Amino acid sequence: MVKSKIQEEVNNQIQAEFQSAYIYLGFSAWFESKNLNGFAHWMKMQWQEEIDHAMRLYNHLLRRGGNVELKTLEAPEIDVSSAKEVFEQALEHEEYITGRIHELYALAQEEKDYPLTSLLHWFIDEQVEEEDVTGEILERLKMIDGDPAALLDLDRELAQRQPEEEGEEQEGE
């Protein structure tokens, strides 16, 4: 059985992952409105990843006899004027999520919840990748510095993003 403190924090992280998905979907809509469909596609892929992350935690909690409590999502505030600003916000958000994962990992260690600690190793590695990829795109946008042709080239490149391989199936599936 999952300890109540762990259950509460895993439920909070499930909410944070779904909230992340909602933010990425909002970013996708912003890019669609600017006819940057490759960026929009990239953000939709990110939206799906965040849902997958939430479901890993959801399934983990259920498999361990815990109760999932779905929490309210807030409408994302998308107040940006450039692709660079979107990726600045995305990187900032990923850094926030990384901090949350680290706090959850520390709690799992403190509570000697080894199954959760094991699961969170995947999340820690995933967050390194999330920050790296988002940061790399941001750096490229900084280099572009308003060059429309370069922006369209990057848009075409991001349109090629494919869903991640399911080498590691989600828990409970």
Position 172 scores a pLDDT of 40
What CATH fold (topology level) applies to the domain 4-158? Ferritin (1.20.1260)
Q: Domain residues of the chain, as ranges? A: 4-158
- In tens digits, the chain (173 residues) has pLDDT values of 899 999 999 999 999 999 999 999 999 999 999 999 999 999 999 999 999 999 999 999 999 999 999 999 999 999 999 999 999 999 999 999 999 999 999 999 999 999 999 999 999 999 999 999 999 999 999 999 889 999 999 999 999 988 876 544 444 43
pTM for the model = 0.91
Instruction: Give the number of other Cβ atoms within 10 Å of residue 135's Cβ.
Output: 16
Helix axis angle, 148-158 relative to 37-63, nearest 10°? 40
